Chain A
Amino acid sequence: MAEYVNMDTLRFQLEQVHQLDTLFQYPRYQEYDLEAINIFLDAVKDFSDQELYPVFREMDEKPAYYEDGKIIVHPTVGRTMEKMGELGVIAATFDQENGGLQMPSMALLGAYFIMEAANNHVMGYPGLTDGAAKLITAFGNEYLKEAYVPNMLSGQWAGTMCLTEPQAGSSLSDITTTAYPTDEGYYQVKGQKIFISGGDHEYNENFIHLLLARIEGAPAGTKGISLFVVPKKRIAEDGSLAPNDVITAGDFQKMGQRGYCTTHLVFGENDDCRAWLVGEPHKGLKYMFQMMNDARISVGRGGLSIASAAYHASLQYAKERPQGRRVMDSGKKDPRQEPVLIIEHADVRRMLLLQKVIYEGSLSLLLLASKYHDLEKVTEGEEKQKNRLLLELLTPVAKTYPTEKGREAVDNGLQVLGGYGYCSDFVLQQYLRDIRIMAIYEGTTGIQSLDLLGRKITMDNGKALKLLAQEMQQTIGSALTFDGLKPYAGQLGEKMKLSQKVLDFLLPLAMKGEYERFLSDATVFMDFFSTLVVGWLWLDMAVVAKQELVSGREAYPAEFYESKVHAMRFFFKYELPKMEGLAPTLMSEEVLTILKEKEVIA
């Protein structure tokens, strides 16, 4: 079977770079050890090899569709949902008291990474169920927890997130779905939701929609939005399931992720759609945002996983395809020579290495964000605040870098295959179509970038950024102890200064009240800043590889560690310098994109 992940790289990052075992000292995770996690990851890999990877292309070729009020999805969706419940994938990070396993989310990210690289059309179904059940356990009352959560964690019922409406996508404050109070302890809702992933199909007995709506008469804007549980089938008094007036009106046909249905749902068409309030009225968006942080990391992981799969597919091709001859030092080619494998051409190696640094850099970024998340749960006081701030700061980056740069990586993977890359006989074109959505849902790149520059960089007077800078300084300090890494430590230090210079230019704009201008190039800033962050993570990986090499522990062969140092050098030669190209744009006095009056762009 073709490879789609490298288990050694995953283990190296989990165990040696991000030191998963340091979490086991906290009571929440104390029942875990590396051995247990490794057995679990192997089990997940076996499951992915057997159930997920073999149907991956078929799910694209036979996409989900709508017929007679129903959505038809690939049978794998039904089969695997139950198995993932059994494996413990859905319950993994929940509290034990809610039927969960209290696994560190960092370890679960590793598991999802394997499964999603095998088949990115399936993992949204359990992922959304996990997210919806988490919202209920975090903010719902005992009745909601008991009635819904156990069946969701077992994979018998599915969960969804119903936010988007035709007129309200990026701007959720504009939603109009309305909830009318009754005397019976529930509400009646009426409205439409579009683009609802995993919203309906025949393989789950019930769908539990976590829906944002406005209680009748609620104030305008984000402060008037509440969160509800709306089941497709409500639970009658005798425990049986009865229809709850949720109508499936369609399935959007898409360029990618075609096995992952995207539904149009109509609530309360017959005035009989019951909804149960989660938590307090008008706090829905706040609750949802807590979940969205997890969801953003999940989407980043989707980008990472596809980039990993595309890298391995193009690597395999490059090792098998003979074409052309190497240029000799004389500048000539010898036509009598046999053609070489394309992996011997420098340009092909560049494309492969580019993919490798993007996907492994993304993996490190996502594991680190998850680690802050895990630590935030178990630490107290200043430590807790530090972990929270670092997680908040890195979340938009962890959503965006793997999805934007991941797409560039996959595009390079396709290019490695030449003409075949563009043809449907090979899988690369599917990866490129699949990854495209990742920069859109769960908040577009534009929205993530506004979040990064407008909120996260400035929050608590820039405290998160200061903490991040300290972490980077520490890595630089460790890198300076290895002769071979000194130049790179120096380069990272310079880029940190450059980043400070850019912020010294931008932040005063906000203070002067030129807020729109301050944010106008937020997406360019995202590109600039995420390159710095991933450069730091690569230097950190190189430090760990060097430490392991001198330790003589030999958990992996020397070439394995040397390849990590080589990849870091690649990042520092080809990617990090791009910050210098972006800085003048970010500090330019020219203002070209802000709408002044009603002039047209084109």
Chain B
Amino acid sequence: MKLLVCVSKTPETTAKIAFTNDNTEFDSSGVQYIMNPYDEWYALVRALELKEAQGGSVTIIHVGPAANDTIIRKGLAIGADEAVRIDAEPPSALYVARQVAEYAKNENFDIVFLGKESIDYNGSEVGPMLAEMLGLPFVSHATRLEMEGNKAMIVADIDGGDAQLEVETPFVISAAKGLAEQRIPNMRGIMMAKRKPLKVVEPVEAEGLAVAVRFELPPEKGDVKLIDPENMDELVRLLHEEAKVI
């Protein structure tokens, strides 16, 4: 089976999030990046498991500048066979989908994996756009994927329950928690990753249909005020005058 896994980079989960340039850009100074966990822990590992069981190859693809090669290298260390990087700073989900589609359209992948969402912009947009551009079926939020020949049995997370789906290759699938278990790369894998092929591809022209005008952080939580249980009047007054909830 020929498998493609789309991987994105996101700020490390404890990174301080701030904006610059009059709140129109994300402030990346001092921020450490990681591979989007849905891509790393679930999409990539399930793809590797399928390859290990049935043979074939796993390619990872990333749209981003050379500075993100560490993320790609980690994917190769975990076990992907080769990598492709589309050399561009992605301004939007549509742009990412366009670039991946352009690369994938002539490669005849059996399955294209994505994470269910990036943990920073949480768009869940790349997958459906990509499937549309490739003219392939799309299954989102998969928590199980079993193959029988070219038929896939999929369990997908839906609000309050599960959906069981069947689809034939080729298709596009987005991975949710449960699809696989995180694999920790080992030192031999990390060293081998350096010798695996990483192809750098120039981006194609793609228009951005939406622009970010402004970002805002959620309002900070205020100080907690402790009120003596004897002093109910004060509590009522504060709820009325300060919190304005009664």
Residues of A within 8 A of B (CB): 31-33, 35-36, 38-40, 42-43, 46-47, 86-89, 91-92, 101, 103, 338, 554, 556-557
**Could you say which residues of chain B place their CB within 8 Å of the CB of A36?**
73, 190-191, 193-194
Which B54-73 residues have C-beta < 8 A from chain A?
Answer: 69-70, 73
**Could you say which residues of chain B place their CB within 8 Å of the CB of A33?**
194
Number of interchain pairs (Cβ within 8 Å): 51
Stretch in contact with the other chain, from B90-98, B144-152, B181-189, B237-245? B181-189
**Could you say which residues of chain B place their CB within 8 Å of the CB of A554?**
29-30
Which B160-216 residues have C-beta < 8 A from chain A?
Answer: 182, 184-188, 190-191, 193-194
Whole-angstrom distance between the Cβ of A323 and the nearest chain B Cβ: 14
Whole-angstrom distance between the Cβ of A49 and the nearest chain B Cβ: 10
**Could you say which residues of chain B place their CB within 8 Å of the CB of A557?**
29-30
**Could you say which residues of chain A place their CB within 8 Å of the CB of B70?**
35, 38-39
Question: Please, how many angstroms separate the alpha-carbon atoms of A337 and B200 in the complex?
Answer: 62
B85, CB-defined interface residue at 8 Å? no
With beta carbons under 8 angstroms apart, the residue of B30, B73, B184, B193 that contacts A47 is B184
- Give the nearest-CB partner of A47 in chain B: B184
Whole-angstrom distance between the Cβ of A440 and the nearest chain B Cβ: 32
B77, CB-defined interface residue at 8 Å? yes
Question: Please, how many angstroms separate the alpha-carbon atoms of A103 and B186 in the complex?
Answer: 13
**Could you say which residues of chain A place their CB within 8 Å of the CB of B182?**
46
12 more CB-based (< 8 A) A-B contacts, given A38-B70, A43-B186, A556-B30: A31-B194, A32-B191, A36-B73, A36-B190, A36-B191, A42-B74, A43-B184, A43-B185, A46-B182, A91-B187, A101-B188, A554-B29
With A31-B191, A39-B74 as contacts: A87 and B184 at CB distance below 8 Å: yes
8 closest residue pairs by CB, A with B = A88-B187, A557-B30, A43-B184, A87-B186, A36-B190, A88-B186, A43-B185, A39-B190
Question: Please, how many angstroms separate the alpha-carbon atoms of A39 and B185 in the complex?
Answer: 8
With A38-B70, A39-B77 as contacts: A46 and B187 at CB distance below 8 Å: no
Question: Please, how many angstroms separate the alpha-carbon atoms of A32 and B30 in the complex?
Answer: 24
Whole-angstrom distance between the Cβ of B231 and the nearest chain A Cβ: 14
B30, B34, B73, B184: most-surrounded residue (chain A CB, <10 A): B184
B226, CB-defined interface residue at 8 Å? yes
Question: Please, how many angstroms separate the alpha-carbon atoms of A554 and B27 in the complex?
Answer: 13
- Give the nearest-CB partner of A89 in chain B: B187
Contact present for B74 and A101 (CB under 8 Å): no
**Could you say which residues of chain B place their CB within 8 Å of the CB of A91?**
187
Contact present for A35 and B73 (CB under 8 Å): yes
**Could you say which residues of chain A place their CB within 8 Å of the CB of B184?**
43, 46-47, 87
Whole-angstrom distance between the Cβ of A142 and the nearest chain B Cβ: 24
- Give the nearest-CB partner of B74 in chain A: A39
A-B CB contact pairs (8 Å), 18 listed: A31-B191, A35-B73, A36-B73, A36-B190, A36-B191, A36-B193, A39-B70, A39-B74, A39-B185, A40-B190, A42-B34, A43-B186, A46-B182, A47-B184, A87-B184, A87-B187, A89-B187, A556-B30
Please report whether the interface of chain A is mostly helix, strand, loop or mixed according to DSSP: loop
- Give the nearest-CB partner of B185 in chain A: A43
Contact present for A103 and B187 (CB under 8 Å): yes
Whole-angstrom distance between the Cβ of B36 and the nearest chain A Cβ: 15
**Could you say which residues of chain A place their CB within 8 Å of the CB of B185?**
39-40, 43
- Give the nearest-CB partner of A103 in chain B: B187
With A46-B182, A338-B226 as contacts: A101 and B187 at CB distance below 8 Å: yes
**Could you say which residues of chain A place their CB within 8 Å of the CB of B187?**
40, 87-89, 91-92, 101, 103
Whole-angstrom distance between the Cβ of B233 and the nearest chain A Cβ: 18
Whole-angstrom distance between the Cβ of B71 and the nearest chain A Cβ: 10
Whole-angstrom distance between the Cβ of B182 and the nearest chain A Cβ: 7
Question: Please, how many angstroms separate the alpha-carbon atoms of A43 and B185 in the complex?
Answer: 6
**Could you say which residues of chain A place their CB within 8 Å of the CB of B186?**
43, 86-88
Question: Please, how many angstroms separate the alpha-carbon atoms of A32 and B190 in the complex?
Answer: 10
**Could you say which residues of chain A place their CB within 8 Å of the CB of B30?**
554, 556-557
Question: Please, how many angstroms separate the alpha-carbon atoms of A510 and B217 in the complex?
Answer: 69
Question: Please, how many angstroms separate the alpha-carbon atoms of A33 and B73 in the complex?
Answer: 12
Whole-angstrom distance between the Cβ of B188 and the nearest chain A Cβ: 6
**Could you say which residues of chain A place their CB within 8 Å of the CB of B69?**
35
B29, B184, B187, B226: most-surrounded residue (chain A CB, <10 A): B187
**Could you say which residues of chain A place their CB within 8 Å of the CB of B74?**
39, 42
**Could you say which residues of chain A place their CB within 8 Å of the CB of B77?**
39
Question: Please, how many angstroms separate the alpha-carbon atoms of A103 and B191 in the complex?
Answer: 11
- Give the nearest-CB partner of A111 in chain B: B187
**Could you say which residues of chain A place their CB within 8 Å of the CB of B73?**
35-36, 39
Whole-angstrom distance between the Cβ of A331 and the nearest chain B Cβ: 27
**Could you say which residues of chain B place their CB within 8 Å of the CB of A87?**
184, 186-187
Whole-angstrom distance between the Cβ of B226 and the nearest chain A Cβ: 7
With A35-B70, A87-B186 as contacts: A101 and B191 at CB distance below 8 Å: yes
With A35-B73, A39-B77, A554-B29 as contacts: A88 and B188 at CB distance below 8 Å: yes
- Give the nearest-CB partner of A45 in chain B: B184
Question: Please, how many angstroms separate the alpha-carbon atoms of A557 and B16 in the complex?
Answer: 11
**Could you say which residues of chain A place their CB within 8 Å of the CB of B29?**
554, 557
Question: Please, how many angstroms separate the alpha-carbon atoms of A86 and B187 in the complex?
Answer: 8
Question: Please, how many angstroms separate the alpha-carbon atoms of A36 and B73 in the complex?
Answer: 8
Question: Please, how many angstroms separate the alpha-carbon atoms of A33 and B226 in the complex?
Answer: 53
Whole-angstrom distance between the Cβ of A84 and the nearest chain B Cβ: 10
Whole-angstrom distance between the Cβ of A523 and the nearest chain B Cβ: 39
- Give the nearest-CB partner of A554 in chain B: B29
**Could you say which residues of chain B place their CB within 8 Å of the CB of A88?**
186-188
Whole-angstrom distance between the Cβ of A43 and the nearest chain B Cβ: 5
**Could you say which residues of chain B place their CB within 8 Å of the CB of A31?**
191, 194
- Give the nearest-CB partner of B224 in chain A: A338
Question: Please, how many angstroms separate the alpha-carbon atoms of A338 and B70 in the complex?
Answer: 48
Question: Please, how many angstroms separate the alpha-carbon atoms of A557 and B74 in the complex?
Answer: 25
Question: Please, how many angstroms separate the alpha-carbon atoms of A46 and B226 in the complex?
Answer: 39
**Could you say which residues of chain B place their CB within 8 Å of the CB of A42?**
34, 74
**Could you say which residues of chain A place their CB within 8 Å of the CB of B226?**
338
Whole-angstrom distance between the Cβ of A300 and the nearest chain B Cβ: 24
B29, B185, B226: most-surrounded residue (chain A CB, <10 A): B185
- Give the nearest-CB partner of B182 in chain A: A46
Question: Please, how many angstroms separate the alpha-carbon atoms of A556 and B184 in the complex?
Answer: 26
- Give the nearest-CB partner of B29 in chain A: A554
Question: Please, how many angstroms separate the alpha-carbon atoms of A554 and B185 in the complex?
Answer: 28
**Could you say which residues of chain A place their CB within 8 Å of the CB of B194?**
31, 33, 36
Whole-angstrom distance between the Cβ of B221 and the nearest chain A Cβ: 15
**Could you say which residues of chain B place their CB within 8 Å of the CB of A43?**
184-186, 190
- Give the nearest-CB partner of B191 in chain A: A31
Question: Please, how many angstroms separate the alpha-carbon atoms of A35 and B69 in the complex?
Answer: 9
Question: Please, how many angstroms separate the alpha-carbon atoms of A179 and B131 in the complex?
Answer: 73
- Give the nearest-CB partner of B77 in chain A: A39
**Could you say which residues of chain A place their CB within 8 Å of the CB of B191?**
31-32, 36, 101
Whole-angstrom distance between the Cβ of B38 and the nearest chain A Cβ: 16
Using an 8 Å CB-CB cutoff, how does the interface string of B68-111 with A read, 1 for contact, 0 for none? 01100110010000000000000000000000000000000000
Question: Please, how many angstroms separate the alpha-carbon atoms of A38 and B30 in the complex?
Answer: 16
Question: Please, how many angstroms separate the alpha-carbon atoms of A33 and B34 in the complex?
Answer: 18
Question: Please, how many angstroms separate the alpha-carbon atoms of A35 and B70 in the complex?
Answer: 7
Question: Please, how many angstroms separate the alpha-carbon atoms of A40 and B194 in the complex?
Answer: 13
Question: Please, how many angstroms separate the alpha-carbon atoms of A114 and B191 in the complex?
Answer: 21
**Could you say which residues of chain A place their CB within 8 Å of the CB of B188?**
88, 101
Question: Please, how many angstroms separate the alpha-carbon atoms of A32 and B188 in the complex?
Answer: 11
B30, B73, B186, B191: most-surrounded residue (chain A CB, <10 A): B186
Question: Please, how many angstroms separate the alpha-carbon atoms of A156 and B76 in the complex?
Answer: 27
